[in-house]
Amino acid sequence: MPKVRTPLNELTVANGETLTWGARTYVMGIINVTPDSFSGDGLGDDVSAIVDQALRFQEEGADILDMGAESTRPGHKRVSLDEELSRLMPALEAVAAGVNLPISVDTTKPEVARQAVDAGTVIINDIWGLKGEPSLANVAAETGAALVLMHNQQGTGYDDLLPDIVSSLQSSVTTAIKSGVPQGNIIVDPGIGFGKTPDQNLAVLARLDALKELNCPILVGSSRKSTLGLLLDLPPDERVEGTAATVSLAISGGADIVRVHDVKEMVRVCRVTDAVVRGWRPQGWKAT
- Where in the sequence numbering do the catalytic residues fall? 225, 259
With 90 as the cut, is the pLDDT of residue 40 above it? no
Residue 286 domain flag: no
pLDDT in tens, 56-88: 999 999 999 999 999 876 666 789 999 999 999
> What's the DSSP call for residue 101?
S
Structure confidence at residue 34 as a pLDDT band (50, 70, 90)? confident
Q: Is the dihedral of CA 261, 220, 164, 232 positive or negative?
A: negative
CATH number at residue 140: 3.20.20.20
- Please state, in angstroms and as integers, the Cα–Cα distance from residue 27 to each residue in 20, 114, 164, 178, 223, following that order: 13, 24, 27, 29, 12
pLDDT tens for 13-31 read 998 999 999 999 999 999 9
Task: Note whether residue 10 is domain-resident.
Answer: no
DSSP secondary structure, 233-283, as one string: T--GGG-HHHHHHHHHHHHHHT-SEEEES-HHHHHHHHHHHHHHHT----T
pTM over 0.85: yes
Q: What is the pLDDT of residues 82-114, one digit of tens each?
A: 999 999 999 999 999 999 999 999 999 999 999
Cα separation, 250 vs 254, whole angstroms:
6
Count structural domains, the chain.
1
Crossing angle of helices 198-206 and 161-178, in 10° steps, is 70
Q: Range of 155's domain?
A: 23-275
Answer whether residue 33 is part of any domain.
yes
Answer whether residue 3 shows pLDDT above 60. no
pLDDT at 271 over 80: yes
Please report whether residue 99 resides in a domain. Answer: yes
- What pLDDT was estimated at residue 100? 95
pLDDT in tens, 208-233: 999 999 999 999 999 999 999 999 99
Q: What is the pLDDT of residue 46?
A: 86
For residue 245, what are the contacts with CB-CB under 8 A and spacing of at least 6? none
